[in-house]
Structure 1
Amino acid sequence: MAGRDPVEVTNLDRYGNPPLLWSRVDEALAAATPSPSVTCFLGTVRPDGRPSAAGVGAVWLNGDLYFTSSPKARKARNLAENPACTLSMRLEGVDVVAEGQAAQVTDGPTLEEVAAVYRGAGWPAEVTGEAFTAPFNAPSAGPPPWQLYRMRVGTVFGVATVEPYGATRWRFEAGAERRA
């Protein structure tokens, strides 16, 4: 597994199904992100406490979720005030909600690594300075450059939509070391 192992697993299923295996979610995340067929919704909190949600193209890499934003977008402004966020998505066989903290990524090696994943998925992202540029992006993305954000996942909820069924919560150690 490229990410981290959970430190706590809680079975949330009320029908007697066993806890889902984390490897099932980890593999589904790796297989599905980024993809035009998988819509991810980023949830953030406005400075006045109201919720905000926006569709993003997420990348699951080494146990973290990555996404982009224009620096002027509501989601970027919200994260600058409060890094707490959620990322929700329907994957093959399992619905997932991840909770964590997001911060802008500016280091070149990480930007290059994530840009390569986006290029492999069909978005021709290039690193320019501390952000991405490309000839196109989502219609609502605004003009380039687009900042990259890393969401450090603290808790993940999964509900299976195919057999074996179940519902599970996984908690991860904050700031735990990543394995290569």
Structure 2
Amino acid sequence: MQTINLGKAEGLPPVDWTVVAAKLDAGSAPAADAANARTTWLCTINHDGSPHVTAVGAVWVDGAFWFQTGAGTRKGRNVARDPRCSVAVSIRDADVVIEGDATRVTDPAVVARIAKVWADSGWPAQPDETGTGITAPFNAPSQGAPPWNVYRIEPRSATVVLATEPGGLTRFRF
């Protein structure tokens, strides 16, 4: 992994990726009184090259972000055409942006495991009858009817901005 301290000119130390990864693993949310909110944002690329940003119910599992969407949604169409995307989230004391490629996951065992992660966090997702997608009694109306496709975003790079003293701004390339 390459570490680039973007705050070096201001005398800031580099961010420790292992601390950030541990907070992502733990599902860390900002403090209740923090200025940053616990929304996870997905940015995909529209057909004309412009960005499409939308809130998603992504989860961090096994060192990657996972999200689900209907095949006919804009984000679904975008990642089918161009898998490059990014996810932005606030964690305790930091803001994190992960860049990578979205890969559709169809392995029934993996889909079932990720559906269970969502179910354990309060959204009652489960594999559909084929095992290659997920279903639930409810989802955002814009997702269309189930089943929904599951995607994994393997991090290619991450940028982390610390929100506490001494601060820090670091990019990681994996």
Q: TM-score, normalised by structure 2?
A: 0.89
Distance 1:39 1:159 in 2: 16
1:142 maps onto 2:144 in alignment: yes
1:10 maps onto 2:12 in alignment: no
Q: Is this contact kept in 2: 1:33–1:59, CA < 8 A?
A: no
Q: Comparing 46-55 with 136-145, which one deviates more in the overlay?
A: 136-145
Distance 1:116 1:33 in 2: 19
1:2-28 Cα shifts (integer Å, max 9, x gaps): xxxxx1111111321211111121122
Q: Which residue of 1 aligns with 2:173?
A: 171
> Counterpart of 1:149 in 2: which secondary structure?
strand
Q: Which amino acid aligns with 1:32?
A: G
Q: Any residues of structure 2 matched to 1:37-52 within 5 Å, and which?
A: 38-52=38-52
Q: Comparing 156-165 with 117-126, which one deviates more in the overlay?
A: 156-165
> Counterpart of 2:157 in 1: which secondary structure?
strand
Q: Which residue of 2 aligns with 1:67?
A: 67
Q: Which residue of 1 aligns with 2:16?
A: 21
Q: Which residue of 2 aligns with 1:120?
A: 120
Deviation at 1:158, TM superposition (A): 0.1
Runs of 5+ unmatched residues, structure 2: 30-36
Q: Which residue of 2 aligns with 1:177?
A: none
Q: Is this contact kept in 2: 1:33–1:60, CA < 8 A?
A: no
Q: Which amino acid aligns with 1:155?
A: S
Q: TM-score, normalised by structure 1?
A: 0.86
1:99 maps onto 2:99 in alignment: yes
1:100-134 Cα shifts (integer Å, max 9, x gaps): 00111000111111111111110110001211100
Deviation at 1:148, TM superposition (A): 0.3
Aligned residues: 164
1:151-173 Cα shifts (integer Å, max 9, x gaps): 1110000000123421111110x
> Counterpart of 1:10 in 2: which secondary structure?
strand
> Counterpart of 2:117 in 1: which secondary structure?
helix
RMSD: 1.6
